[in-house]
Amino acid sequence: MSDWKKFAMTWTASTLVGFYSVFVLMEVWNWFAVPLLHVSETSYWLMYGVSMLFGLMTGAGEQENPEHERRWKALFIALDACLPEHKTEEVREEVRLETEGIWTDISMMIFGRVVSRSLTLGLGFVVHLLI
C-alpha cells in the first residue's frame, strides 16, 4: 500500500477518533458538570467548538518546530559521513524498515485512544447511574 493511502487512512481514522472524543466529552459533561455547576446541557456541536477552542489555546496538533527537524537532518548527515562504505546498504535497509514501522505505531496509538475514550465513557456511565 502506498504511503499516500496509509496517510489518508490514518487521517480518516484520527478524524473519526476526534469526533468520538467530542461525543465522550459531551456525555461526561452532561452527566457530571451539569448537575454540579447548575448549567444547561451542551450539544455535540457546542462541545466540538469548545474542544477546538481548547485545542487552539493549548497548541494541540501543531506542527513540529522546523529548527528541531533541521537538527535531526544535520545529525543524520554527520552519521552518514561516519558510516563505512561496506555498511551503508545494510544500515539504509535497517533505517527503511524502522521508518516503515511508523504506520503500525500510529495505528496502535489511534486504537489506544479509542479504547481509552470508550473506557472513560463506560466508567462515566456507571458512575452516572450511581448518582
Considering Cα of 15, then 18, then 24, then 26, what sign does the dihedral take? negative
pLDDT digits (tens, 9 = 90+) for 70-99: 878 888 888 878 888 888 888 888 888 877
pLDDT digits (tens, 9 = 90+) for 20-36: 999 999 999 999 999 99
Using CA atoms, how far residue 116 sits from 28, 46, 56, 121, in Å, is 14, 22, 22, 9
- Residue 125 C-alpha cell reads as 456511565
Residue spans of the domains in the chain: they are: 3-130
